């Protein structure tokens, strides 16, 4: 999918990496030994304990994330899970591996990080990452880990935001990291170039709703820490926008005509204030129906 401004605009990858270099990291204590670091790319989930820290995702910058991790406990980082292949969740793989973290990810995360990968909507081609930054513990089906006294279930979404998304659910504490299948209060990106799909995003949203209860703490890939009712709102927004855009496309309207019809107008005030505005989201949805 071509973005008309892509040739001249700075890639959002550059903008986001630059912003992360100076962003403050906010540490949120959740339950038990679980915390979230917010402010460097995607949210980072941290479980501390004597088996070593377990991280879900890395954020972008080393120094601030390293300081925030040190503020939680003295446990070394031993385990890192990549929720999917995107840079704002994996840029820290190399340094975290260098201090002792074994990296676990879906096989498609390893695949996309291993080769040059273009994201047309971001006007950016990611070079292959260094060998030390590649996940070495590869999962293809759901798996359960036992670390720091926690039962940690990793579940593969299949095609959703990409083709590499996995959730990480901490059973005893009733906390789930749902990767970029939830952008809490924000329109999500859908990366069709690496196997994402709109209907897969909706299926993932349904699975998240089914997999949580009123007490569950939900860690989104982007946006504030949330709960089940926000998963439901997000699912309902996806379904409603899909229906509006699909109806217009069925009438034979071109992508630009659909964008001009503003099918997201009722939703933009709530969801369109972050990286992806209503027009961009409409283009993403148009490509998926």
Per-position x/- string for 140-179, each x denoting binding to Zn ion as judged by CB under 5 A, each - no binding: ----------------------------------------
Among 7-15, 21-29, 81-89, 239-247, which window interacts with Zn ion (CB under 5 A)? 81-89
Taking CB under 5 A as the binding criterion, the range among 84-92, 119-127, 151-159, 193-201 that sits at the site for Zn ion is 84-92
Instruction: Name the residue nearer to Zn ion (CB basis): 163 or 180.
Output: 180
d(CA 183, CA 219): 9
Which residue, 75 or 165, is less far from Zn ion as judged by CB? 165
> Which residue is nearest to Zn ion, using beta carbons?
86
The residue among 75 and 180 lying less far from Zn ion, judged by its C-beta, is 180
Contact between 86 and Zn ion by CB under 5 A: the answer reads yes
- The answer to whether residue 53 forms part of the interface with Zn ion (CB under 5 A) is no
Does the protein bind Zn ion through residue 180 (CB under 5 A)? yes
Give 42 or 263: the residue with its C-beta nearer to Zn ion.
42
**Size of the residue set binding Zn ion (CB under 5 A):** 2
Closest separation between CB of residue 250 and Zn ion, Å?
A: 29
Taking the complex as a whole, how short is the minimal distance between the CB of residue 224 and Zn ion, in angstroms? 17
- Verify binding: residue 75, Zn ion, rule CB under 5 A: no
Give the binding site for Zn ion (CB under 5 A).
Answer: 86, 180
């Amino acid at each position: 999918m071509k973005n008309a401004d892509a040739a001249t605009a700075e890639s959002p990858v550059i903008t986001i990496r630059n912003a992360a270099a100076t962003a403050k990291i906010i540490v949120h204590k959740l339950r038990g030994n679980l915390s979230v670091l917010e402010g460097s790319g995607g949210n980072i989930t941290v479980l501390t304990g004597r088996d070593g820290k377990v991280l879900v995702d890395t954020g972008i910058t080393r120094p601030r994330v390293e300081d925030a991790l040190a503020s939680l406990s003295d446990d070394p980082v031993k385990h890192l899970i990549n929720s999917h292949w995107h840079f704002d969740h994996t840029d820290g793989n190399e340094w975290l591996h260098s201090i002792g973290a074994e990296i676990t990810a879906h096989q498609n995360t390893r695949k996309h990080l291993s080769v040059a990968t273009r994201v047309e909507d971001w006007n950016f081609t990611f070079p292959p990452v260094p060998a030390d930054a590649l996940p070495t513990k590869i999962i293809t089906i759901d798996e359960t880990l036992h670390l720091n006294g926690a039962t940690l279930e990793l579940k593969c979404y299949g095609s959703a935001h990409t083709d590499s998304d996995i959730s990480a659910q901490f059973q005893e504490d009733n906390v789930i990291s749902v990767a970029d299948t939830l952008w809490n209060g924000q329109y999500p990106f859908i990366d069709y170039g690496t196997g994402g799909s709109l209907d897969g995003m909706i299926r993932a949203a349904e699975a998240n709703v089914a997999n949580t209860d009123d007490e569950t703490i939900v860690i989104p890939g982007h946006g504030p820490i949330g709960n089940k009712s926000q998963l439901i709102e997000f699912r309902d927004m996806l379904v409603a926008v899909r229906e509006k855009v699909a109806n217009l496309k069925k009438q034979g309207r071109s992508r630009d005509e659909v964008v001009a019809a503003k099918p997201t107008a009722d939703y933009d005030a709530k969801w369109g204030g972050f990286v992806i505005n209503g027009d961009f989201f409409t283009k993403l949805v148009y490509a998926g129906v």
